[in-house]
Structure 1
């Protein structure tokens, strides 16, 4: 059967349709995800998809219950276009997350009432979101740094929405050396955890799940339930930690992705075979070196999250 989607808020924020990974060569990044993560490319299989309004190439890759949109600007990158502007500033880097929303105009106008700047597709500001709007981006200045696409439509051929999903998802857990059970959470690095949490609870109607301190990563955090995934807001406690250096360089911004897995030794052995260097910030977490993962920090954990709505 298809994936059960757990929605949040009055406007039905639901499936996290994808997390965007910005690069300069979409086929190369697709191959990396296929060869290292066992990724299933289901858009851009033979050649990347080109979207003129955004002047970009892209593919869609499924890894367990996480969809990665691999994206690159048409080269040479045009810094006057949103995708080209991001690439010229950040290079290879995690870019954003996206959500399917039942009532997109309702959510958009709610955010505008909250003082959130809403970006139109291809650039510009929306003063009002009407029923014809297919997707938009709230300004990261008003979302504690997270670039988030809010969308009215599904991704075509999304494997999670097919009747075969409950069987297919087992492949990553039981048939691949990374032993991925599911997406644990997406991490957003922030300078002020209290202020960032308030934005998500008040404006996005996110639900607090758990807070604490990660001694290995050297940050304090709040985990929120937002749509069909968990978002970890993380404030560095040490400026010389990986997250501390990221926040010092980029400010509030998407940082990393963590998978929940069955076997950390298998994760380490497999990544070593694929020439991806790893470390253990603490005994229950394996961290992949972002220099070997196209600029995207990936983590693998066996930790349970208290009050996790996806384990209930």
Structure 2
């Protein structure tokens, strides 16, 4: 059975098509995801995909229900292009998320009416939506640091669109030592949690799910559903912590990815075998060292989320 997609808002924000991981070597990052996470490459299998309008190379990889787009700027890097500009500033880092939208024109015009800057493919501002536009980016400045590609079309060959998808998912949980059940949430680090949540709920119609304080991360957070994904918006309460240092250095920006797993001990043992250093944040959560994950903070947990719309 293909993936059953939950949608939010009046314009049908649905499948999170991918989360982009910026790097300088797409084949090397693909190999990491294949060998450590059991990733399935379905675009750029033999060589990276080239997109001239963005001056970049990329691949697409499935890890459980999360698609990672591995991306690198063309060399020599052109800092005038969006991909080159990001890499020049941030280097190896989580870059963005992307969503399939049923009514992209309607959503774009809604955001424009609310004063949100809409970036066109390859750069430039969209003043009014053209029906021929197939994707755009709301300015991260207006979305509290989250770069989000909003798209009208499906990703070619996406395994989640196949009838074999429900069988494929079982392989990550039961056939791989990480025992990944699904994506738990993407974390966005922010300086002002209340203002950020207000923007997501009222401008893009995200649905509030739960809120709380994470004592170990030293952060206050709220989890919202945006399309077929949970987004944890987190404000550090102290500067002396990984999230606090990230927000102090980069400001409002995507921070990390958390997977829900069945067996945390198995995940910890496997990552150690693959040379990925980890820390037990608490008995129910494991953090992988970003230095061993090409700059990306990854977390693994057995915890449940209050009011989780994906828990049966």
Instruction: Give the TM-score, by structure 2 length.
Output: 1.00
Q: Which residue of 2 aligns with 1:43?
A: 43
The residue that corresponds to 1:151 in the other structure is: 151
Separation in 2, partners of 1:77, 1:104: 31
Aligned to 2:62: 62
2:81 corresponds in structure 1 to 81
> How big is the shift at 1:237?
1.0
Shift of 1:75: 1.1
Deviation of the 1:248 alpha carbon: 0.1
More displaced stretch, 280-289 vs 20-29: 280-289
Q: 1-side partners of 2:76 and 2:213: how far apart?
A: 42
Q: Which whole-Å CA distance do the structure 2 matches of 1:292 and 1:76 have between them?
A: 26
Instruction: Give the distance between the partners of 2:273 and 2:6, measured in 1 at CA.
Output: 36
- Cα deviation, 1:175-198, whole Å, max 9, x if unaligned, reads 000000000000000000000000
Query: How many angstroms apart in 2 are the aligned matches of 1:77 and 1:287?
Result: 32
User: 2: CA distance between counterparts of 1:229 and 1:120?
Assistant: 24
SS of residue matched to 1:160 = helix
Task: List aligned pairs for 1:88-237, cutoff 5 A.
Answer: 88-237=88-237
Other structure's SS at 2:60 match: strand
Q: Deviations over 1:209-259 (max 9, x none)?
A: 000001111111000000001000000011010000000000000000000
Cα distance in structure 2, aligned partners of 1:283 and 1:250: 29
Segments of structure 2 that go 5 or more residues without pairing to the other structure are none
Deviations 1:41-70 (CA, angstroms, capped at 9, x unpaired): 000000000000000000000000000000
Separation in 2, partners of 1:223, 1:74: 36
Aligned length: 312
Task: Say yes or no: does 1:15 pair with 2:29.
Answer: no
Which residue of structure 2 lines up, in the alignment, with residue 263 of structure 1? 263
Q: Deviations over 1:77-131 (max 9, x none)?
A: 1000000000000000000000000000000000001110000000000001121
Return the alpha-carbon distance in structure 2 between the equivalents of residues 300 and 76 of structure 1.
36
* Mapped partners of 2:6, 2:151: distance in 1: 16
Consecutive unaligned residues of structure 1, counting only runs of 5 or more, are: none
Q: Distance in 1 between matches of 2:41 and 2:128?
A: 35
The TM-score normalised by the length of structure 1 is 1.00
Aligned to 1:246: 246
Tell me, what secondary structure is at the counterpart of 1:10? Answer: coil
Find the residue that maps to 1:169 and give its secondary structure.
Answer: helix
